[in-house]
Amino acid sequence: MSEPALLLVVCGAPLAARVGDGVRAARGRGWDPYVLPTDAALPWLEEQDLSDVPVIVGNRRPSEARRTPTADAVAVVPATFHTVNAWATGNADSYPLTTLCAALGSRTPTVAVPYASQELTNHPAWSASLTVLRRAGIRIVDPQNGSAESLASVPSGTGGRIVKDFDWDWVFERITARPTV
């Protein structure tokens, strides 16, 4: 039997620098990972060797075959202010956002690691979006300590340490594949 497929959506924030580690961690846990970067995440991916994993950018052409299997689980690491708000309001205007909206609608097990500064998280849309996502069953994980119960904004000047200390086990211990029937 093939390994369960994990779609790893990567948004444009500093924690995108750890996606290569996430791919290795996913494989170590028995997942078959696919990387789905947003356009804003691409500069961080350029600095990593992702040559041995499918990196899927943009929409497929109408005549093109599907580029991933059906997702058994989805992880969004990091999830930016923009993507969290767009996802919660059902804005599907890019391939990663369409994937996230469809994952939510199909109740595919999904973990998101939001990553945003206080200037952004003070905007009232942020807490409203997180409430929508949590109620829809999305597991929200704090990038600073792995908590699934609380979420702190990223204090300015601490991004480098948070990126370095981020532990992918915080994501994988909260992902379970869709049960097979």
Ligand X SMILES: Cc1cc2nc3c(=O)[nH]c(=O)nc-3n(C[C@H](O)[C@H](O)[C@H](O)COP(=O)(O)O)c2cc1C
The site for ligand X (CB under 6 A) is made up of 11-14, 38, 40-41, 80-83, 115-116, 120, 154
CA distance 153 to 118: 5
Min dist. Cβ of residue 114 to ligand X (A): 8
Q: Which residue is nearest to ligand X (CB)?
A: 12
The helix/strand/coil state of 155 is coil
Min dist. Cβ of residue 97 to ligand X (A): 7
15 vs 73, beta carbon nearer ligand X: 15
In total, the chain counts a number of residues equal to 181
Amino acid at site 124: P
Min dist. Cβ of residue 9 to ligand X (A): 9
CA distance 78 to 13: 7
CA distance 174 to 46: 28
43 vs 69, beta carbon nearer ligand X: 43
**Contact of 31 with 71, CB cutoff 8 Å:** no
Min dist. Cβ of residue 134 to ligand X (A): 18
The pair phi, psi for residue 140, each rounded to 5°, is: -100, 125
